Amino acid sequence: MQDAIVETRGIGKVYDGGVEALRDVNLVFPRGQLSTLLGPSGCGKTTLLKIIAGLIKPNRGEVRVNGRAVQGPGPERAFVFQDFALLPWADVLRNVAFGLELRGMPLAERSEIARKHIAEAGLAGFEASYPSQLSGGMRQRVGLARALAVDAEVILMDEPFSSVDEQTRRKFQEDLLDMLRDRGKTVIFVTHSIEEAAYLSDRIVLLSTRPGTVTKIIRPEIGRDKGPDEIRRDRHYLDTVDEIWHMLKQYVA
């Protein structure tokens, strides 16, 4: 088996009021791959992601990263939130450098690193802009640049493109793969979009309706040496979309 970086062992989560979100979730996330959590609304995708991040605790089971039990957030994991979670009083440069600032990195060094990632995210020239001056798509790019700037081994992404229009979303998907290429990062990605999961993923973890349990793991087997349009016409891509839909449509009311 490929080197595992994240493992979930018997994860169960019950919220106050007795709502069971997850039940006995056992998963292994291979190092250097993009794995997507996909399932019907309310199946516990975001809950599982936050448990892996150490932001909430499970009622049962444990998460291990690099063989060590997760007790809370850690520097080897970075989270990209659906709602951007930017500091409204800080400009783009400081937002991207914020994780490095928390680690005590000197100003000149963290600014240099932040500028590099801002440019890679297509935001050169906006270093002095504030979140309120940016479009939703630009704010999400700031969030991604911040996650990459801290050089975490694992990037956790909670529906990062759900708030933008379809054209921007497709461009973000292409840019994400470009930015991750050759970095060796492990990405755990949450989405509601079947097409997005098939386009981006090395592995797709299908979860059942609540309480979420693992029903199947799909590997799209799409050649990543192809261009975006070729991938979306690729037989493996189309077959993956069809397979996922046939499995998930049972949960659609």
Q: Which residues of 165-203 are buried (b: 16+ CB within 10 A; e: fewer)?
A: eeebbbbbbbebeebbeeeebbbbbbbebbbbbbbbbbb
First CA to last CA across the chain, in angstroms?
A: 38
pLDDT given for residue 229 in this prediction? 87
Which residue ranges in the chain fall short of pLDDT 70?
1-2, 252-253
pLDDT reported for residue 2: 61
Q: What share of the chain is helix, strand, coil (3-state, %, to 5)?
A: 40, 25, 40
In order of their start, the domains of the chain are 1-76+184-253 (3.40.50.300)
For 19, residues 6+ apart whose C-beta sits below 8 A from its C-beta are: 210
Q: What integer pLDDT is reported at residue 182 of this predicted model?
A: 76
Residue 63, token pair as written in the block: 């998460």
Q: Which residues contact 244 (CB under 8 A, 6 or more apart)?
A: 38, 194, 197, 198, 204, 206, 218
Helices (H), the chain: 45-53, 92-102, 107-120, 136-149, 166-180, 194-200, 228-233, 235-248
Question: Residue 207 CB: number of other CB atoms within 10 A?
Answer: 23
Alpha helices in 30-161 (DSSP H): 45-53, 92-102, 107-120, 136-149
Task: Identify whether the C-beta of residue 151 lies closer than 8 Å to the C-beta of residue 75.
Answer: no
State if pTM tops 0.85.
Answer: yes
In contact, 156 and 79? CB cutoff 8 Å: yes
Nearest alpha carbon to residue 206 among 198, 131, 221:
198
The Cα 207–Cα 211 span in angstroms is: 9
Contact 204, 35 (CB under 8 A): yes
**Per-residue model confidence (pLDDT) at position 252:** 66
